[in-house]
Amino acid sequence: MRKIKLKAMAKINLGLDVVRKREDGYHEVRMIMQTIRMYDQLQLLKREAPGIRVKTNLYYLPTNEDNLVYKAAKLLMDEFHIRQGLHIDLHKFIPVAAGMAGGSSDAAAVLVGMNRMFGLGLSRTQLMERGVKLGADIPYCIMRGTALAEGIGENLTRLEPVPCCHVLVAKPGIHVSTKFVYSNLKVSELKTHPDIDGQIEAIKNRDLKGIAALMGNVLETVTIPAYPVIQQIKDEMLSHGALNAMMSGSGPTVFGLFDREEKACQAAAALKEKELAKQVYLTGMFQGGKEDEE
């Protein structure tokens, strides 16, 4: 196999709780992760000349070892002594630095693609074990679907698929530092925590309204006071009939779940008209299956 095209899918957090801050400085979490049908496109091409080349459609993204796709490729090349070179063409569509694991998903796609191209024979579990060396979200991005993530996000339990619905994604024109969010989170002072176990039960019962009602993200206690536009986007989605709306990950992206496409389209139009979000997309839940290759 000389080349392969892949889709690197985005994720949202249906629930995000921080249990405690560990002695090593990391935060222990319990999260419901969900893949959505928004994706970056990658093409991997073997080269005779050794080395890794990365090309992207965004001028401000690094194309050297500071890019996770480069690190993922190098990880497998070093381990398996691959002497051929690799060209990675990355077309970004997932909003950057948005709490949607775009970079992690791109790296996951490179690991999966190289495993096939070079016939490395690694299982999904073995790929996930390698991925966690580069980032806590990468094992989930290899697994995809609906999952409970614990520890620092690397301990995964697959859950039943979430019922189909319309997912409205809106990213305001701001950048939120993940480090800023976690360093300002006062875990011991959190008054409420999302009911992750209740949400798992609602997922098991395929109860979309129940899943939505239990959505919660403790990181909003930091981001919303600092960036009020996040709450404004949530309120706009709710006023147009979202079952619920919430920030994904450490933000600033907000997503809303809708049971009717018409409502979601009206909310999208309102967000654009009021210029609350710079990027607005309407998509759906990823239910599983082989959708990584184009």
Residues at the annotated binding site for ATP? 95-105
Per the annotation, the verdict on 195 as an active-site residue is no
Among residues 40, 106, 137, 292, the one annotated as catalytic is: 137
CA distance linking residue 146 with residue 206, whole number of Å: 12
Summarize the annotated binding site as residue ranges.
95-105
CA distance linking residue 185 with residue 61, whole number of Å: 28
Q: List b or e across 34-62, with b for residues whose CB sees 16 or more CB atoms inside 10 angstroms.
A: bbbebbbbbbbebeeeeebbbebeeeebe
CA distance linking residue 167 with residue 212, whole number of Å: 12
Among residues 11, 171, 234, 263, the one annotated as catalytic is: 11
CA distance linking residue 48 with residue 277, whole number of Å: 44
Instruction: Give the Cβ contact number of residue 31 at 10 Å.
Output: 24
Q: List b or e across 235-251, with b for residues whose CB sees 16 or more CB atoms inside 10 angstroms.
A: ebbeebebbbbbbbbbb
CA distance linking residue 289 with residue 279, whole number of Å: 28
User: Do the beta carbons of residue 272 and residue 280 sit within 8 Å?
Assistant: yes
Per the annotation, the verdict on 133 as an active-site residue is no
CA distance linking residue 268 with residue 201, whole number of Å: 30
Q: Which residues are catalytic?
A: 11, 137
